[in-house]
Amino acid sequence: MTNELERQVLAKAEKWLGAEYDEATKQQVKHLIESDKNELIESFYKDLEFGTGGLRGIMGAGTNRMNIYTVGFATQGLANYLKKNFPNEEIRVAISHDSRNNSRMFAERVADIFASNGFKVFLFDALRPTPELSFAIRELKCQSGVMVTASHNPKEYNGYKAYWSDGSQVTAPHDTNIIKEVEKITEVSQVLTGKNGENITVLGEEFDEIYLAAIKKLSLSPESVKNCHDMKIVYTPLHGAGVRLTPASLRNFGFTNIILVKEQCVLDGNFPTVESPNPEERKTMSMAIELARKEGADLAMATDPDSDRIGLALRNGKGEYVLLNGNQTLVLLMCYQLTRWAELGLIKDGDYVVKTIVTSMMPDAVAEHYGVKCYNCLTGFKYIAKIIREHEQSGAKYIGGGEESFGYLAGDYVRDKDGVSACSLAAEAAAWCRDTKGMTLYEWLQDLYVKFGFYREGLVNVVRKGKDGAELIQNMMVEYRANPPKSILGSPVVKIYDYKTLEVLDVESGAKSAIEGVTDHSNVLQWVTADGTKVSVRPSGTEPKIKFYFGVKATLPSVAEFEKVQAELDAKIENIKKELKLE
């Protein structure tokens, strides 16, 4: 680090020793100045950025850390933007938080600032899932909301998600306009606090009942649940916000044999039983899977700390528990919904499902079979919410949708992924399979592969840290645009989708056309080959990495050949990685 940087950092840090900062913060900063130069630089060398979704960072004192001051600056900036957008209106906001360390403190600070700005504030009495916050915004006719969470990041992190009046995370133009307002807040004195405490209304269990009743309306097979009510279901909240509402929703659906991983029902922001509170990882799911094996449960489920993601492990024919990837969970839930909607005569012209562009291609085939439209959108649930918003006046119904990163939303009562309802639907689907088909949910997934084609996916994260790494990632995208692969494993590339220009190139004819249904630009490339292989390349917006998503497919003649064809598809993905020099 240069002496100039150290001088700038020290000047910023010394400002935090002023009278407007609390004593505990000042003591932390003094310690950094006197004893920990490296951490001092990390804490102050830049300001924690309010990105298009809000804040996320390591907790601690400093301008580049999550603390009551950086949270305060963000909230005052958001408050100022709301005043500009809704002049002469009573502005209403909802606030929730997860189980992370300091989450309650941050949520109460947000509530105080909004109340001090004259807003009507709805603050949950304790932690609640992200989807319930989204639901509350719509139900209580709020213009905005804040969820204090860092999702499934490590314990050192916390975050702040900003929501708009439709219950979705903010999208253009509000996202960038809020950032401009936040950047104008540079002094603690600009943040309004300590006023209008009477403006804060506390939400408790009575509101949970309203949310749970909305989820119950998603139920499609109450008779099957009644017949299989004592099916064994293992669930873990991973020390997070799903602890009360997910079991409550399962009971509300009619299930009576819910087995909790008790050690992980303890609310603890240190997540003591897992390396990472991410249900995508088998290590994280290991306690739930072990308990399911011991109990002979039909399925094991988990939600992440803010309960918007779902992890799902199913028992296969050998009695082993298979942890599904996000694509498989999405396919199962969407197929269950579409199958039952069709059987019940609920599907009407124009009804639709949604998935992101890097998600499995299988939902497209399933949707076509059932005569519903499948929209593709950019990565991020706010883009799924945007499509729902755009169709609200058309009369077309949103059935369900999701993304490969373990998020699913059935119904439009919420505008973010919902792990609570996803767990309830997964359990109901398992009961329906047992009751009407005499098979497990995993066996039904295998049958779906026979019916629609066996789709298999893979992902590689290439990490390139620092300024040089960021430039390298950008150069990779430039090179891929200039010289895309002509073939992948011998199959010619026939279409190239460029989401930066929103154009698709027909390689053989050279003709370009607009990508259907997508209006937001993103630095993403996709190559589709003659044999149906799809490779997507996407630099991460929040981390120093570039992601490669692989989708391959094959015919599955029968369930008996499942393992053989799965092995072939997995080998194909590995060979694509080698050909692209990613291994």
Per residue, the 3-state secondary structure of 114-170, as one string, reads: HHHCCCEEEEECCCCCHHHHHHHHHHCCCCEEEEECCCCCCCCEEEEEEEECCCCEC
Query: Phi first, then psi: what are they for 317, rounded to 5°?
Result: -65, -20
Q: Are 581 and 548 in contact (CB under 8 A)?
A: no
Give how far the C-alpha of residue 248 lies from the chain's centroid of Cα atoms, to the nearest Å: 22
CA-CA-CA-CA torsion sign (204, 210, 215, 221): positive
For the chain, give me the number of helices (H) and strands (E)? 18, 23
Q: Which amino acid is at 12?
A: K
CB 17 within 8 A of CB 30: yes
Q: Is 43 a catalytic residue?
A: no
Please tell me the distance from the alpha carbon of residue 124 to that of residue 132, in angstroms, as a whole number. 10
φ and ψ at residue 213, rounded to 5 degrees: -65, -35
Q: Are 509 and 421 in contact (CB under 8 A)?
A: no
Contact 396, 350 (CB under 8 A): yes
- Please give the torsion angle defined by the CA atoms of residues 333, 337, 343 and 346, in that order, rounded to the nearest 10 degrees: -170
Phi then psi dihedrals of residue 465, to 5 deg: -85, 160
What whole-number distance in Å separates Cα of residue 301 and Cα of residue 320? 15
**What one-character-per-residue DSSP string does 195-223 give?**
--GGGEEEE-HHHHHHHHHHHHTT-S-HH
Residues near 378 by beta carbon (within 8 Å), at least 6 away in sequence: 356, 357, 499, 518, 520, 522, 524
- CB atoms under 10 Å from CB of 66, counted, come to 27
Cβ burial, residue 26 (10 Å; 0-12/13-18/19+): middle
DSSP string for 490-533: TEEEEEEEETTTTEEEETTT--EEEPTT--S--S-EEEEETTS-
Residues 402 and 330: beta-carbon distance below 8 Å: yes
DSSP strands (E only) in 431-500 = 454-463, 487-488, 491-498
Q: CB under 8 Å to 417, separation ≥6 — which residues? A: 130, 131, 308, 309, 381, 402, 403, 407, 408, 409
Residue 548's SS3 state is strand
Catalytic residue (one of 43, 99, 134, 151): 151
- The residues assigned a catalytic role are 151
